[in-house]
């Protein structure tokens, strides 16, 4: 019994958030096994896994930025329109002005940064709720996409397509696998072992509880088995295919943003703002700066996702980006984030995104119509928002409750008994800070 208790405690890390993410990993495994049986073994083939990463990497990239937005207590409904607008601007620039594709990528990131600065200004410095700002942005940039592209498709050059449709090249001797993918998998295994060893050493130095070695061994063995399996699958695809370039971009972003949100002061400030904005403000956190950065960062990642999608499609079109915000938001909530803000991880959002991606993929392999796929997505979003209702009942901040508050009639509070002492006046707000919208 003690061993089972230790296993649950250390795998769940003693927190509700990690327990939910751990549960979603089991859900992901269950979905994979279900569709593996249902499709007669097609789900885990090399070709299908490569296709999943290639087709859904842009949603996973969006979920990274959306996680930070939701953790800070906001929501962004404009990501699909921003991605579509950026895609058409870059495609038009390369077609009309013969802009080299590397400069086209730089232009796209710049467009995303400008859009993010525009939306971040309204949220952080004017105080308009992000829900309203991004709803306006969704309409504004969708219209901009159709205006610039004249509601037509615009092709992109061959070099630009590599970021969305390219794969790691074949190098070295013929091993029957893609050698670069094998080396990348080997490096991932070594990094995982180093990370676990470093984590145990750090906890010892801090005189904190250290998980029993046998539990660390189980956790490490499971993770290494997953990495090895995925490496062999991606490296063993048909000749000319391997790990997609978009997958490499996604992995770099996951590592970078995981470090940023967990190990930097600026990253922890995002969680502080989402957890308790007033307390964060009184602690010296610059709320305006945090809100501006998360909104700007979201648009930059949306621009990158849009360019990857356009590169894979070989052209930008008026239907790009439709309902992307639904997939990104659902991925974040499924991955363990709370609508109330202050809770969630990058890795959890990736797990949630993979649940959505493999669910879509499995249904498509079975020939399920797009109507049923949309119904299932809607149900997933509904269940995710149910977490916000639960948090609200626990007395925590709720985005939905905040949006509906102006329309409620509150009963006047009963006169309080004579207090022992009058409460101290709240300190004046720092001119460089502002309350979280909503």
How much is the pLDDT for 207? 85
Note the pLDDT of residue 10: 57
Q: What is the per-residue pLDDT across 139-189, written as a single tens digit (0 to 9) for each?
A: 999 999 999 988 889 999 999 999 999 999 988 888 889 999 999 999 999
Query: How far apart (Å, rounded) are the C-alpha atoms in residues 137 and 133?
Result: 6
Burial (CB < 10 A; 0-12, 13-18, 19+), residue 423, is exposed
pLDDT at 17: 47
The values of phi and psi at residue 71, to 5°, are -60, -35
Query: Please, which pLDDT band fits residue 11 given cuts at 50, 70 and 90?
Result: low
Tokens standing for 44?
Answer: 């885990």
pLDDT exceeds 50 at position 28: yes
- Under DSSP, is residue 223 helix (H, G, I), strand (E, B) or coil? helix
| Six-digit token string for 67 | 């996680």
Q: Which of 149-153, 367-371, 401-405 has the lowest mean pLDDT?
A: 401-405
pLDDT at 370: 80
- Does 23 score more than 80 pLDDT? no
* pLDDT tens figures, 182-238: 999 999 999 999 988 988 888 888 888 887 888 888 888 988 999 999 999 999 988
Q: Taking 90 as the threshold, does the pLDDT of residue 396 lie above it?
A: no
Determine the average pLDDT of the residues in 374-394: 65
Q: What is the mean pLDDT of residues 319-347?
A: 86
DSSP 316: E
Q: Between β-strands 154-155 and 315-316, what pairing exists: parallel, antiparallel or unpaired?
A: antiparallel
Percent of the chain at pLDDT exceeding 90: 51
Query: Looking at the predicted structure, is the pLDDT value of residue 13 above 70?
Result: no
Work out the mean pLDDT of the chain and round it to a whole number. Answer: 83
Residue 182: phi and psi, rounded to 5, are: -60, -45
Contacts of 384 (CB under 8 A, 6+ apart): 329, 330, 333, 334, 339
Q: Backbone dihedral region of 263: left (phi > 0), alpha (psi from -120 to 50 degrees) or beta?
A: alpha
pLDDT tens-digit readout, 105-135? 999 999 999 999 999 999 999 999 999 999 9
Residue pair 242/50 in contact (Cβ under 8 Å)? The answer is yes
Strands in 156-263 per DSSP E: none
Summarize pLDDT for 55-69 with one digit per residue, the tens: 999 999 999 999 999
Task: Give the pLDDT score at 324.
Answer: 92
Backbone angles phi, psi at 316, to 5 degrees: -100, 140
Q: Assign 412 a pLDDT band (cuts: 50, 70, 90).
A: very low
Name the strand (E) or helix (H) holding 155: strand 154-155
């Amino acid at each position: 019994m003690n061993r089972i208790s230790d296993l649950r405690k250390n795998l769940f890390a003693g927190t509700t958030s990690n327990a939910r993410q751990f549960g979603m990993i089991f859900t992901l495994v269950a979905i994979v096994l279900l569709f593996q049986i249902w499709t007669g073994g097609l789900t885990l083939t090399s070709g299908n896994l490569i296709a999943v990463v290639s087709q859904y990497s842009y949603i996973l990239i969006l979920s990274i930025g959306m996680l930070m937005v939701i953790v800070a207590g906001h929501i962004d409904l404009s990501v699909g329109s921003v991605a579509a607008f950026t895609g058409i601007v870059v495609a038009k620039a390369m077609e009309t002005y013969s802009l080299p594709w590397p400069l086209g990528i730089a232009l796209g990131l710049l467009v995303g940064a400008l859009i993010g600065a525009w939306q971040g200004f309204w949220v952080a410095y004017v105080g308009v709720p992000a829900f309203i700002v991004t709803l306006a942005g969704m309409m504004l940039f969708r219209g901009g996409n159709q205006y610039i592209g004249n509601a037509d498709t615009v092709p992109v050059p061959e070099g630009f397509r590599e970021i969305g449709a390219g794969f790691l090249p074949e190098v070295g001797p013929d091993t029957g696998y893609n050698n670069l993918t094998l080396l990348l998998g080997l490096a991932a295994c070594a990094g995982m072992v180093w990370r676990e060893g470093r984590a145990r050493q750090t906890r010892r130095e801090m005189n904190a509880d250290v998980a029993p070695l046998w539990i660390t061994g189980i956790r490490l063995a499971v993770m290494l088995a997953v990495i090895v399996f995925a490496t062999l699958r991606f490296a063993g695809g048909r000749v000319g295919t391997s790990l997609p370039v978009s997958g490499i971009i996604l992995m770099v972003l996951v590592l970078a943003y995981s470090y940023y949100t967990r190990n930097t002061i600026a990253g922890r400030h995002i969680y502080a703002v989402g957890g308790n904005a007033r307390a964060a403000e009184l602690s010296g956190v610059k709320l305006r700066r945090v809100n501006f950065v998360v909104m700007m960062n979201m648009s930059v990642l949306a621009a990158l996702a849009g360019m990857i999608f356009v590169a894979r499609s070989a052209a930008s079109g008026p239907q790009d980006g439709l309902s992307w915000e639904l997939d990104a938001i659902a991925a974040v909530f499924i991955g363990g984030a709370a609508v109330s803000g202050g809770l969630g991880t990058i890795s959890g959002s990736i797990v949630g995104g993979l649940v959505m991606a493999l669910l879509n993929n499995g249904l498509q392999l079975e020939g399920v119509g797009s109507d049923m796929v949309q119904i299932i997505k809607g149900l997933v979003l509904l269940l995710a928002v149910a977490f916000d209702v639960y948090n609200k009942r626990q007395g925590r901040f709720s985005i939905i409750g905040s949006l509906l508050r102006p329309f409620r009639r509150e009963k006047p509070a009963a006169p309080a008994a004579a207090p022992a002492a009058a409460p101290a006046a709240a300190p004046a707000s720092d001119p460089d800070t502002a309350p979280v919208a909503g």
